[in-house]
């Protein structure tokens, strides 16, 4: 497929295009492009975890869109409603933050939270996440568009007191 204007053509290709690979071999040429070209395919781009309590599967935790060069990742949690407000979300978030910063040696973790999810917003704020932006009407839920709030947490910002606490929000 081609997309073109009078000045340029965008031509579909594959990731193993040898001519394109040759063009992009020098780091200086690709430093502002996707870092996927800098790392071998063996580097994971995500970690997906089951959240289990006893013998019950109660949710999922993810570190996705991992950028090893920039040392950052996106974080998400999803719990079965039967397990809300019992502390499992807090425990899972603490484990993920610890894994991200202390095991993976990340510098930054990001999260997107639907504006109406007040329990998650409270949990992430207590963990030290700072709101960095708003994606207006970016999620369609229950027949209406909702804003997504974009949060970030740097390694030096996360709250060690919260990490040691046993509060339960989510």
CB within 8 Å of 76: residues ≥ 6 apart = 60, 61, 62, 64, 111, 112
Is the residue at 22 inside a domain?
no
Is the residue at 2 inside a domain?
no
8 A C-beta contact, residue 111 and residue 129: yes
Domain span including residue 124: 39-164
Is the residue at 57 inside a domain?
yes
Q: How many domains does the chain have?
A: 1
> Looking at residues 109-117, what average pLDDT do you find?
97
Is the residue at 1 inside a domain?
no
Of the pLDDT bands very low, low, confident and very high (cuts 50, 70, 90), residue 169 is very low
Is the residue at 9 inside a domain?
no
pLDDT digits (tens, 9 = 90+) for 39-84: 555 678 899 999 998 888 999 999 999 999 899 999 999 999 999 9
Is the residue at 19 inside a domain?
no
Confidence check: pLDDT of 29 > 70: no
Its pTM stands at 0.76
Number of other residues whose CB lies within 10 A of the CB of residue 63:
23
Q: What's the mean pLDDT when you consider all of the chain?
A: 84
pLDDT the model gives residue 27: 46
Confidence check: pLDDT of 146 > 90: yes
Q: CA 17 → CA 14, 28, 36, 38, distances in Å?
A: 6, 19, 14, 15
Measure the CA–CA gap between 147 and 145, rounded to whole angstroms.
7
**CATH number for the domain including 99?**
3.40.630.30
Q: What percentage of the chain exceeds 70 in pLDDT?
A: 82
Is the residue at 54 inside a domain?
yes
Is the residue at 170 inside a domain?
no
CB within 8 Å of 129: residues ≥ 6 apart = 111, 151, 152, 153
């Amino acid at each position: 497929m081609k997309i073109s204007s009078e000045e340029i053509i965008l031509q579909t290709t594959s990731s193993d295009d040898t001519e394109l690979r040759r063009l992009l071999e020098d780091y200086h040429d690709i430093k502002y492009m996707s870092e996927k070209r800098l790392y071998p395919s063996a580097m994971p781009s995500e970690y997906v975890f089951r959240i289990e309590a006893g013998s019950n599967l109660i949710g999922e935790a993810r570190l996705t869109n991992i950028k090893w060069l920039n040392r950052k990742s996106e974080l998400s949690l999803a719990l079965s409603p039967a397990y809300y407000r019992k502390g499992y979300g807090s425990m899972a978030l603490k484990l993920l933050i610890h894994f991200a910063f202390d095991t993976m040696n990340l510098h930054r973790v990001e999260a997107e939270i639907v504006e109406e999810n007040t329990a998650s917003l409270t949990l992430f704020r207590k963990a030290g996440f700072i709101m960095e932006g708003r994606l207006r009407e970016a999620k369609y839920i229950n027949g209406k568009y909702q804003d997504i709030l974009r949060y970030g947490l740097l390694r030096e910002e996360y709250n060690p007191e919260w990490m040691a606490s046993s509060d339960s929000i989510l």
